[in-house]
Amino acid sequence: MSNSLRETANELSSKLVAIRLILNYPSNEAKVFVLLEGETDIRLFKKLFDLNKVEVDSLQGKEKVIQALQILLTEGYSQVIGIKDADFDHLEETQAIENLFTTDYHDMEVSMIESDALQSLICEYAHTQSNNAEFLSNLKKNIYDSAITIGYLRWFNHKQISNKLLFKNLDFKIFVQQNDYQLNLDKEKLCARLLDDSKKKNSALSIASQELDDAILHLKTLSADKLQICCGHDLTKLIALALGNNLNGDKIESALRLSYSLDYFKKTNLYVSLMNWSSNSHKTLFAS
């Protein structure tokens, strides 16, 4: 077993031990345990759930969430559920997993951008435009039009078994120009940078620029659904570039989380699905 696989197994094993201890504690018998993908998800969902009735914890990545959930359900812990980003599940009609719930769109960041939390963010970071409905509409169109190209490349990468591209630490300023709140993404520069970064990590990578162009054209024939294709982390980086003022994606995501309320969440299909599970399981997730 490689070191990375061993570390993953050890992390999962340690997390399962901790979760079992919490679930077996007498005062937690009626509580629901919610598994999330990461620390930022905890910051958001702790605002939404009734923490007198719910315990929230995270594992790094959806695969660990799924593994932990399935192990705990097999052991009889029926009050455990998982929440993960849909990624491309809705586009690929991925098979449902018991007690696992997915976001309406590609991820929770997209859900937040589609809520009125974005307007609150504009009031904070572009207050001179806060009463300009056209500005908000144009900003959203601009960021989605830019992010969907990156999204198609992420979707292509998702389908790859090996020969994977590396998106981590991708410097958007190299291939996105900003002028007066408007963004212009250069696809050729994006592909060149992505291939260059990826080959530095994996010298055996055998993907060429033309293959990426062909992949984008093919995936466009499968779907043009920006809400499912665009990655929320790409969108928040693009918002930061558009608004300027030394912002970055992390600050944008933090501002969205602060503005995103349970009232917004109640408008999602994810909330409806969780409420249906809550009712059928006779468990409480949200404060009444």
All domains in the chain, ordered by first residue: 3-104+268-281 (3.40.50), 110-262 (no CATH)
pLDDT of the residue at 11: 80
Which amino acid, one-letter code, is at 185?
L
pLDDT of the residue at 268: 98
Which amino acid, one-letter code, is at 277?
W
As a residue count, the chain comes to 288
How far apart are alpha carbons 98 and 160 in whole angstroms? 26
How far apart are alpha carbons 247 and 240 in whole angstroms? 5
Q: How many CB atoms lie within 10 A of CB 271?
A: 18
As given in the structure block, the two tokens for residue 121 are: 């963010």
| Cβ proximity of 97 and 69 under 8 Å | yes
As given in the structure block, the two tokens for residue 63 are: 């695969």
As given in the structure block, the two tokens for residue 259 are: 């503005």
How far apart are alpha carbons 14 and 131 in whole angstroms? 50
Beta bridge pairs of residue 176: 185
pLDDT of the residue at 8: 63
pLDDT of the residue at 6: 61
As given in the structure block, the two tokens for residue 177 are: 């120009």
Per-residue pLDDT of the chain (288 residues; tens, 9 = 90+): 444 556 566 888 999 999 999 999 998 888 999 999 999 999 999 999 999 999 999 998 899 999 999 999 999 999 999 999 999 999 998 999 999 999 999 999 999 999 999 999 999 998 888 788 899 999 999 999 999 999 999 999 999 988 899 999 999 999 999 998 999 999 999 999 999 999 998 888 989 999 999 999 999 999 999 999 999 999 999 999 999 988 999 999 999 999 999 999 999 999 999 999 999 999 999 987
pLDDT of the residue at 91: 97
How far apart are alpha carbons 221 and 214 in whole angstroms? 11
Which amino acid, one-letter code, is at 139?
L
pLDDT of the residue at 133: 86
